[in-house]
Amino acid sequence: MSAASDLSVSLRDFSANVRAEGRSLVLCLSGNADMAAKDSLDSLLPRVHGEALRIGAADVQVDFRHLEFMNSSCFKSFVTWISDVADLDPSKQYKIRLVSNAEMHWQRRSLHALRCFAVDLISVES
Amino acid sequence: MTETPTAFELTFRPNVELISIVRRFVSDFYERMIEDRDTVSRMALATHELLENAVKYASDGVTFLSITFEPGETSSTVSIRLVNRANAEHIAALATIFEEMSRHDDPFAYYQIAMARSAKRKVGSGLGLVRVRAEGEMTMSHTIEDDRVTILAQTTVAARRSA
């Protein structure tokens, strides 16, 4: 199973890394999550999910503040992850906290849509 | 907000890198024309998603993009139009997406339905056009002429006049 320090993606125009903070994981995203980032994100999020389960995380914080844009394919990666958490037995579920940047206007609608998809699991902070 | 109609047209073979370049151009350009940053963000999102759609489905790789901004007395209209050639299979798939969207009056509610469906998909997201409609707050239409597909996304912006 992955340790948090092994969970990172570094592409020319997109990067992601994970760190553990107590019983929480923090996933920081930056750059441009477009078609070029899709495969990496598809690979990363299940590993983040696995690590969250391994450490019995209370929550995973996803920091979007430095993410310039996310396309629908990458958005779908988050939808699948959230769906996987929602499908867990409630005793194993963890919360997902989405941290947004008010200057990135697309985030308001996209993150709201994710929150509505699993309102009991997702919160949005700015 | 500018009171002058603006438009640009681009015919090119989009790829992953060029799509983000065009999105950033749309954002930078229209931020100088339209005060409302939220509207500009929605335009950029719609442009990006529509171009990615074209990359996936254009049969010859060539896409025509046109964006117009038409100021009015009480509201202004933004139109984003993409034209490309597609094969019969993709034209049928596109028709299905538009037919489904037309059966759901509430774009956001349908977006949530599409997200639930997308969560279990192994290939593709099926969310691009639905996202443009819901998050972009755009009315969507399409026309087919032989193998030429035109997708039109439009939104209106309340006019703000300087005192």
The secondary element (H helix, E strand) that includes residue B48 is helix B37-57
Beta strands in B90-138 (DSSP E): none
C-alpha distances (whole Å) from B7 to each of A5, B10, B46 are 48, 10, 16
Quick: pLDDT tens for B92-151: 999 999 999 999 999 999 999 999 999 999 888 899 999 999 999 999 999 999 999 999
Instruction: Please give the mean pLDDT across all residues of chain B.
Output: 93
CB A26 within 8 A of CB A57: no
pLDDT in tens, A14-47: 999 999 999 999 999 999 999 999 999 999 999 9
Residue B54: CB atoms within 10 Å: 24
Q: At B162, give phi and psi (nearest 5°).
A: -70, 145
Range of the domain at A21: 4-125
Among B110, B20, B159, smallest CA distance to A67 is for B20
CATH number of the domain within which A52 lies: 3.30.750.24
Record: contact A109-B134, CB cut-off 8 A: yes
Is some CB atom of chain B closer than 8 A to the CB atom of A43? no
In chain A, the number of structural domains is 1
Q: Which of B83, B64, B60 is nearest to B8 (CA)?
A: B64
B49, B129 contact by CB (below 8 A): yes
How many alpha carbons fall within 13 Å on the CB side of residue B62? 5
CB B159 within 8 A of CB B1: yes
CA distance B149 to chain A (A): 21
Q: Please check whether residue A104 is in contact with residue B40, taking contact to mean a CB–CB distance below 8 angstroms.
A: no
Q: Which of B21, B53, B55, B125 to mutate to test the interface with A (most CBs of A within 10 A)?
A: B125
Q: Which CATH superfamily is domain B6-158 in?
A: Histidine kinase-like ATPase, C-terminal domain (3.30.565.10)
- Nearest by CB to A106, which of B16, B41, B108? B41
* pLDDT exceeds cutoff 60 at B161: no
- Rounded to an integer, the average pLDDT of B48-76 is 93
Q: Give the residue extent of every domain in chain B.
A: 6-158
| Closest by Cα among A91, A77, A10 to A48 | A77
Residue B30 C-alpha, separation from nearest chain A C-alpha, in angstroms: 14
Q: What is the model's pLDDT at position B33?
A: 85
ipTM: 0.94
